[in-house]
């Protein structure tokens, strides 16, 4: 499911930047209902990260096979673009879980 996470207590949808902060903090408090929750990266993120990685490796191999006098800078740039893509999609693979201590 490619969507931003919601509060497990009240259903408030978190914005992209708020989700990134929640990932860093691990234990959070909802700004709407003031209840605690934990931010966890969905296991599907591994698949979401592997797809750009495989595409990056394939594109680098394609560049190496087509360009005889290729410098490392274009390969580095392609790799950075794919890493940026993975970094940008992490909040969409985050889920908020109720804090077990609270209940």
pLDDT at 19 over 70: yes
Express each pLDDT in 70-97 by its tens digit: 777 777 887 888 888 878 888 888 888 8
pLDDT of residue 75: 77
More confident site: 5 or 74 = 5
> Tens of pLDDT along 42-74?
777 677 677 778 888 888 888 788 877 777 777
Two structure tokens written together for 91: 């909040």
Q: Residue 91 burial (CB < 10 Å; 0-12/13-18/19+)? A: buried
């Amino acid at each position: 499911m490619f969507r931003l996470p919601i509060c497990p207590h009240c259903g408030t949808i978190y914005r992209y930047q708020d989700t990134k902060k929640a990932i860093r903090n691990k234990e959070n408090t909802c700004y709407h209902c003031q209840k605690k929750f934990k931010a966890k990266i969905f296991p599907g993120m591994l698949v979401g990260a592997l797809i750009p990685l495989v595409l990056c490796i394939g594109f680098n191999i394609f560049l190496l096979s087509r360009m005889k006098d290729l410098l490392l800078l274009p390969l580095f740039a392609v790799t950075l673009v794919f890493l940026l893509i993975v970094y940008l999609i992490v909040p969409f693979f985050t889920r908020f879980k109720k804090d077990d201590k609270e209940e």
